[in-house]
Amino acid sequence: DYLAEEILLHRAILFATTNIESYSNNPELTDISDDIIDNYTGELKEMRIELSKLIDTYGKNKEVLKEDDDYIKQYKLIVNKLIKDLSEIKESESNEKAYIQQAIALLQASHDISSIDNKCATSELVKEIAKDEITNTQGYISRLKTLESALK
């Protein structure tokens, strides 16, 4: 489940950054979007391959683990925060600022889920992906926040 949720968030992040590339004339913003798209497209392919392997390996085990309960509780909090963050984006904002805010909200959710993946997952591969995701999202969030401040 951990990896499946990361795949969904990666798809949402790719959608948001593709919107930025389609509608923004800001070269710095499209540069950040290019970096995100390049990185997340590659990660998405890797995760899909690994997800099928994990399903084959762990899919037969129907036992609910304590880590799964912990993960689900924390996951619900992250999803609720993501919904709140996305709903607070003002329609009156410029397209660029709205897209930046959407991307930041999605990246933050991905970061937060990766943090709990790193704690709850039993697969070393999932933990490795989570650690990479934490590092990547922190960098992208920082760059987008800096640009958002400059646009104000």
Chain segment 116-139, per-residue pLDDT in tens: 888 877 778 778 888 988 999 999
- pLDDT for residue 144: 94
State the pLDDT at residue 107: 93
Report the amino acid identity of residue 35: D
pLDDT recorded at residue 3: 72
Neighbour-count burial of 13, counting CB atoms closer than 10 A to its CB (0-12 exposed, 13-18 middle, 19+ buried): buried
Structure tokens at 152: 């104000």
| Entry pTM | 0.80
Q: Evaluate if residue 66 carries a pLDDT over 70.
A: no
User: How would DSSP label each residue in 18-85?
Assistant: HHHHHH---HHHHHHHHHHHHHHHHHHHHHHHHHHHHHHHHTT--PPPHHHHHHHHHHHHHHHHHHHH
Of residues 119 and 78, which shows the higher confidence score?
A: 78
Residues 6+ apart with CB under 8 A from 104: 141, 144, 145, 148
**Residues 6 or more apart whose Cβ sits within 8 Å of residue 131:** 114, 118
Whether 37 and 15 have beta carbons less than 8 Å apart is answered as: no
Average pLDDT value over all residues in the chain = 83
